[in-house]
Homo-oligomer: A and B are copies of this chain.
Amino acid sequence: MLTRIDHIGIACFDLDKTVEFYRATYGFEVFHSEVNEEQGVREAMLKINETSDGGASYLQLLEPTREDSAVGKWLAKNGEGVHHIAFGTADVDADSEAIRDKGVRVLYEQPRRGSMDSRITFLHPKDCHGVLTELVTAATPGEADH
């Protein structure tokens, strides 16, 4: 069951400048940053609030590490903006299988590694009214912030 808005994924050309925009404009601070070579992104997670399921909601700022990554190609086509949205669940395996059974294309055969050692998958945007949609299970349920 999807129980929270886990994050909003925002593609940007320059991660450092974008992080600075969010800090200077709103006071949002970087909670976590990492490079995900499989996804081809350098990213910063800005924690905005905690959620009623014991998790949290973040902005995820994404800069491609290579032009041929999914985010790199998306940026070249669309420019900066919201790349995807993500819902949190305690069981990404069960939820992605149940959603696949409903005829929505799930992009990975098995969930892969996401931010902060989470497990993630994506749903095809053409099956989701234009919205690239991610499902996330945090590394440690109820300890999403540590």
In the assembled complex, the Cα of A129 lies from the Cα of B22 at a distance in Å of 10
> Which listed residue, B27, B81, B131, touches A10 by the CB 8 Å rule?
B131
Binds B, one of A35-43, A46-54, A64-72, A110-118: A46-54
Known: A21-B128, A102-B24. A49 touches B4 (CB 8 A): yes
The answer for the CA separation of A10 and B46 in the assembled complex, in Å, is: 22
The secondary structure that dominates the A interface is mixed
Interface size class of A (residues with CB under 8 A): 35 or more
Query: Which A residues lie at the B interface, using CB under 8 A?
Result: 1-5, 8, 10, 12, 18, 21, 24-28, 48-53, 57, 59, 79-82, 85, 87, 99, 102, 104, 125, 128-131
